[in-house]
Chain A
Amino acid sequence: MMSALDIPTLKENIDRETVDQVLSLDVDKYKYGFSTDIESDMAPQGLSEDIVRFISAKKNEPQWMLDWRLDAYRRWLTMDEPAWAKVHYPQLDFQDMYFYAAPKSTPAPTSLDEVDPELLAMYDKLGIPLKEREILAGVERPNVAVDAVMDSVSVVTTFREELAKVGIIFCSISEAIREHAELVQKYLGSVVPVTDNYYATLNSAVFTDGSFVYIPKGVRCPMELSTYFRINEKKTGQFERTLIIAEDDSYVSYLEGCTAPMRDESQLHAAVVELVALENAEIKYSTVQNWYPGDKDGKGGIYNFVTKRGDCRGNGSKISWTQVETGSAITWKYPSCILRGDNSRGEFYSIAISNGYQQVDSGTKMIHLGKNTSSKIIAKGIAAGFSDNTYRGQVSAHAKAKGARNFTQCDSLLIGDKCGAHTVPYIESRNATAVFEHEATTSKISDDQMFYCQQRGLNEEEAVALIVNGFVRDVLQHLPMEFMVESQKLIAISLEGSVG
């Protein structure tokens, strides 16, 4: 698997030992607390069945989970990378990646002096405390990270106790696999099947952590749940897995992400999010995605290949996705709703901003299966610099979806003349009573608008930010309050350098 020549350092010698250890064990031994035998936190480089076993063992998972992962892995081997999105990137080499607690492929910075100054300037503008900046920038300073974790442990515990009083489960997916196996087994992969798509299948095989939320029948979650309140172990963001279940007549609002840009060595991110809304339940899922977009020449940056899907499984259920996408070199993301229950409703509100050499291919799918189901899509794409910004959406009504309704509005705004905005809607109706409406506009910030704003005292960047915030207003107002204010700031920062 690795040749001796490739192992010059002590750290990698440990890896080597781990590999040997893993290789020397036979399959049956994994059932019996294999993980206690492993002291290293590093998985060897590359991807194989053994790596999948390693991850599962490391997490002390039950056999059914390992089987599930292995099934996914074997399936993945037979699949091809999708090529239909309007994004271009070099071939991914999975044997060159680390799939668990990835050691840095290049040495991590030891102080902020070694971090991309552009990134630091952005933290400054967002007003992020120095300590947090170091963590976000991935500076190797264990004490800092420990402090932060210590701080959040108490916060997390308080929140969890509050939530437990009303029967809400909010924990990491790893913990849920161990503690709430019956729920996980029932729902995991029930919205995004193991076989769904290349990246989702890969995620199913190698996911390392993520969130689990369970809202019992009739409970209205008393607070916005946020990944911020859960300890996200460092370096586990690469293959996140999130599962949210809302029982009958329940409600939850979930916030994901952070407005601060995260620097990360691992280039590929392939998360899976599954939402299940039962009868009359409502799930509101909001995301602010601001992964490192690469430098001004388009070097580096995250490839974000995400599968997010909600299943309105019960009558009268509702799922609403709101996203603000500003980061990543490549975004490939289509949060979708399966409107299975009669009278169920799906919503998608999106702001996707691309600048520099970013490529965004994002949108949604609204799949109308039940009677009188309705959906609404409002997508705002803003392209600046040399970027490409594509909205790709599908609305379909199946034969039994009597009275299905959809309204779609797709607006694109171009800044400058070297970027591109594209709208690719797929509309499919197998039911004569379905009513689908689609509106699309493309506009540019006009010189007259810029001049007018400047005449009133705004500089070019302030003018662009104001006009863009106006353009995205109908989407912004669907965000929870604290995200709304931060997002406005973030939008301004993302578009800096887009004019002049």
Chain B
Amino acid sequence: MTNPILEIRNLHARIEDREILKGVNLAIPAGELHAVMGRNGSGKSTLSYVLAGKEDYEITEGEVLLDGVDLLGMEPNERAAAGLFLAFQYPIEIPGVATMTFLKAAMNAQRKSRGEGEISTPDFMRAVKEAGASLNIDASMLKRPLNVGFSGGEKKRAEVLQMALLAPKMCILDETDSGLDIDALQVVSKGVNALRSEQRSMLVITHYQRLLNHIVPDVVHVFSDGRIVESGDKSLALQLEAKGYADFDSEPA
């Protein structure tokens, strides 16, 4: 009876003349974590950008519902306020803006668009301190400009920190394991796992099975040439790891 948190129906998208998404169908019920796996250039990252509302893409067909509400008609910031979060593969540098300042601006912007008042400074400090502790993020990192000069691990930890503070319904993690050594991967995975809950769904986009040892999915989808070509449980990821993507390429739509 209940709506899935995210429902994608026959989604087609193009950039200039090139069609990249060619009919994506996907439904993620509340509390589930789905993984989308696919080779480079299969359109996985495009899917995450299209969902978040990056304007380079033109949607030619299909619809996307977030908790039953049409997502595609919203501005990117409205999607964020509605509960969609994208952890970027390459988090963007914002020079001169302290991480702390950015966090507060983002939280307050979302509260504002939901008609809530600004968060009080003590509440904010407490929330940041709590969420930061489990991700090994200390005060000195929070004072640095967001992502400027951050190591790969610091960038991804900062993404998860934002995710924790913004408390979205739907998290999309785009290649979160890229640029991480094994220690950093463990910290980040722990942070992501701590955020899994009955009310929250996640979509993990990844190239390698490695991440899924740490963040164990409920469902795995194989993405190829702009659509999902196979779905299964976590064993599908292991199968892919062993055989590669070639088996799925030749499959007809």
Contact = CB atoms under 8 A, between A and B. Distances in A.
B102 A459 contact: no
Contacts of A458: 77, 105-106, 109
A446 B94 CA distance: 10
A466 B80 contact: no
Given A462-B105, A462-B109, A466-B105, A455 B86 contact: yes
A473 interface: yes
Contacts of B162: 456
Contact of A457 (B81, B88, B95): B81
The bracket for how many chain A residues form the interface is 20 to 34
Nearest to B108: A457
Interface in B66-119: 75-77, 79-81, 85-86, 88, 91-97, 101-102, 105-107, 109-110, 113
Contacts of A451: 52, 54-55, 76, 92
B222 interface: no
Nearest to B95: A470
Interface in A451-467: 451-460, 462, 466-467
A159 interface: no
Interface string A452-488: 1111111110100011011111100000000000000
A469 B162 CA distance: 20
Contacts of B62: none
A449 interface: yes
Interface string A402-433: 00000000000000000000000000000000
B145 A457 contact: no
B215 interface: no
B47 interface: no
Contacts of A80: none
A452 B94 contact: yes
A454 B77 contact: yes
Contact of B97 (A457, A459, A466): A466
B204 interface: no
Nearest to A456: B106
Interface in A318-338: none
Contacts of B79: 455
Contacts, number: 81
Contacts of B76: 451, 454-455
Contacts of A474: 96
B202 interface: no
Nearest to A451: B54
Given A451-B54, A466-B105, A459 B75 contact: yes
A448 interface: yes
A278 B53 CA distance: 60
B80 A456 contact: yes
A460 B109 CA distance: 11
A456 B97 CA distance: 14
B97 to A, nearest CB: 4
B102 A466 contact: yes
Given A454-B77, A457-B166, A449 B94 contact: yes
Contacts of A456: 77, 80, 102, 106, 109-110, 162, 166
B141 to A, nearest CB: 17
B97 A467 contact: yes
Contacts of A466: 94, 97, 101-102, 105
B96 A473 contact: yes
Contacts of A453: 94, 106
B92 A449 contact: yes
9 contacts: A452-B91, A453-B106, A455-B79, A456-B109, A456-B162, A457-B109, A470-B96, A470-B97, A474-B96
Those 7 A-B pairs whose CB atoms lie nearest each other, nearest first:
A470-B96, A470-B97, A457-B110, A456-B106, A454-B76, A452-B92, A457-B80
Given A455-B76, A466-B102, 14 more contacts: A449-B94, A451-B52, A451-B76, A451-B92, A456-B109, A456-B166, A457-B166, A458-B105, A459-B75, A459-B77, A462-B109, A466-B94, A467-B94, A470-B145
